[in-house]
Structure 1
């Protein structure tokens, strides 16, 4: 018997189309077009015409067209891209955070590329996303596999917040609107300031930086460094804001965060300029042969880490949202194998786990055996 309350075929197709559109526009290349030129950044070498561009890379592989990517999301059936078993989450309490050594630097995985840092006693956030979906829509698009290990309302006072770019899986309206006046200072790439001001952030609390420009807040030094990616949150604003990786120096320790990036010569330049990193948070997920220019395969992530002269490779950008066609555990399987072969120290923390920079730890392959 047919369920009279079941959605019709046309309703199911519309829902699938909306979800596919949300997924493609939330993350993947070629979703936006350009028109007009409202704000100019002519002092930036990256700003050409009316948009920002990546540095020259003769070895970059081209992405497929917007139409091919979008239709693939609509028609292709994914396999094993969403876990059926629960992703383990280690609850993070204010008491746990307060007990962390105030003289050390700590990194806590919140999920995907979101991290809470305790840098010599003060708290910072990187690309915090606490919303249920990463999408221009509240009702469709990639939905979280797990809840954050700590509620947004339970976060400690935040001294600084770092954003890599304006895509939905890195810049979340729900999160920023809540934190707007609760964060003392924001560090963002060129053009992103206007996004935050529209979300209620006081403009005087925002430092907007070009590649290789630096800033400092409460003893923490920040440098925006190059990445090979793109930006945009609608059909008409591709490339209107800059994207970046980041160098964070707290005391004598340096932390690198890749943001989103394809593999490019910039990693080697960053490694040479800074002389290596105690910890490198490397993008490892949402890659595909259809968009090789803007996301790295695990093999490329390892090569980029070696270019950076890192000591510990910390895998990010996986295990929280379904953003590509590989299995949800493929990034972790491959990078674990590669780093073992190359004798690289790997960090794949459980969601909610605390990593203390420079402190010995035992890495656990928590995803093995999960479906």
Structure 2
């Protein structure tokens, strides 16, 4: 189904009408849930006892400074990993951002919470005007209020899962600049088609709003190329369904980081990330959701080590660019380990 821009009333009616809503909360198709408050003491105990000594880097993370002029000298489709799950894409000469987070901390406040390991490769103010911003869900490491508000006047359209648009409107984002989509719904932006596809995760920015908004992965298609952005997700059979419907993909951006057995149903292990890429029938894979914030118990570089090993084992082409390094889709090449 292709949909257009939603008004407040229309968005509210669509939220209450979706099959994904139960007792006022969104749910995964599989029924899988994130750990609740009852698991918090156990998770905190493990955080104190199992935390890797290398959870944060002891050396400076290498970052390639990024400029618009450098991108304009190159032809074709470009992709740049800016940090965590933040990706800058150039498609058909227009620029797009996915889950942009430029704040110092992935947190409701900037005096506490997970702090960046590295600076962004480009200043927020130096970004080009944007055709669109794609948001996967409302967690602080994916939906950054300060970044969104600073970008609003330079973005033609925000594409978000159900409920996230209403939240952004309370921040002051113009209603007519937001398109909300349910799973399997699509929108056209010029000659680019976007599809909100399933993910297995959860949402919420505080104690009282758990699963009040939807989470999603995204398919992005031009006339000649296809891309997949996982957002956050546990491994599930939905990846194969997406691959069957929309694959093969030229490039996939797959969550690879912040995993643990306690939350394995809503975050993938690196080996599962590679399997998801295979299910999607992806050609090249860029692992995201790593090396920017300390959000788990493992060493900060472990997701990259494991995903490279899994890629080699299963003969999958995994790209691990430095932050700020420009990937040209016409000629991507595996990068040497920088960590």
Show the counterpart of 1:81: 55
How far is the alpha carbon of 1:313 from its aligned partner?
1.2
| TM-score, length of structure 2 as denominator length | 0.92
Which structure 2 residues correspond to residues 130-209 of structure 1 after superposition, within 5 A? 130-209=102-181
Which structure 2 residues correspond to residues 329-368 of structure 1 after superposition, within 5 A? 329-367=301-339
Distance (Å, rounded) in 2 between the aligned partners of 1:180 and 1:274: 30
Per-residue CA distance 1:2-26 (angstroms, 9 max, x = gap): xxxxxxxxxxxxxxxxxxxxxxxxx
| Secondary structure of 1:164's aligned partner | coil
How far is the alpha carbon of 1:358 from its aligned partner?
3.7
Contact 2:181 2:196 in 1 (8 A): yes
Alignment of 1:91 with 2:50, yes or no, is no
Alignment of 1:56 with 2:25, yes or no, is no
Per-residue CA distance 1:145-177 (angstroms, 9 max, x = gap): 000000001001111000000000000111011
Distance (Å, rounded) in 2 between the aligned partners of 1:217 and 1:76: 46
Contact 1:115 1:127 in 2 (8 A): yes
Change over 3 Å in CA distance of 1:254–1:298 after alignment to 2: same
Contact 1:110 1:116 in 2 (8 A): yes
Show the counterpart of 1:259: 231
How much is the aligned-residue C-alpha RMSD, in angstroms?
1.6
| Secondary structure of 2:16's aligned partner | coil
How far is the alpha carbon of 1:77 from its aligned partner?
4.5
Q: Which moved more, 1:244-253 or 1:194-203?
A: 194-203
Specify the structure having the higher radius of gyration (Cα).
1
Q: Which moved more, 1:223-232 or 1:170-179?
A: 170-179
Q: Which runs of 4+ in 1 moved over 6 A?
A: none
How far is the alpha carbon of 1:66 from its aligned partner?
2.9
Alignment of 1:282 with 2:254, yes or no, is yes
Contact 2:199 2:215 in 1 (8 A): yes
Show the counterpart of 2:8: none
Change over 3 Å in CA distance of 1:191–1:159 after alignment to 2: same
Distance (Å, rounded) in 2 between the aligned partners of 1:171 and 1:62: 19
| TM-score, length of structure 1 as denominator length | 0.84
1:300 to 272, 296, 302: 272
Change over 3 Å in CA distance of 1:234–1:272 after alignment to 2: same
Change over 3 Å in CA distance of 1:297–1:362 after alignment to 2: closer
2:288 to 304, 311, 316: 316
| Secondary structure of 2:261's aligned partner | coil
| Secondary structure of 1:256's aligned partner | strand
- Structure 2 residues not aligned, in runs of 5+: 1-11
Distance (Å, rounded) in 2 between the aligned partners of 1:169 and 1:148: 14
Change over 3 Å in CA distance of 1:62–1:207 after alignment to 2: closer
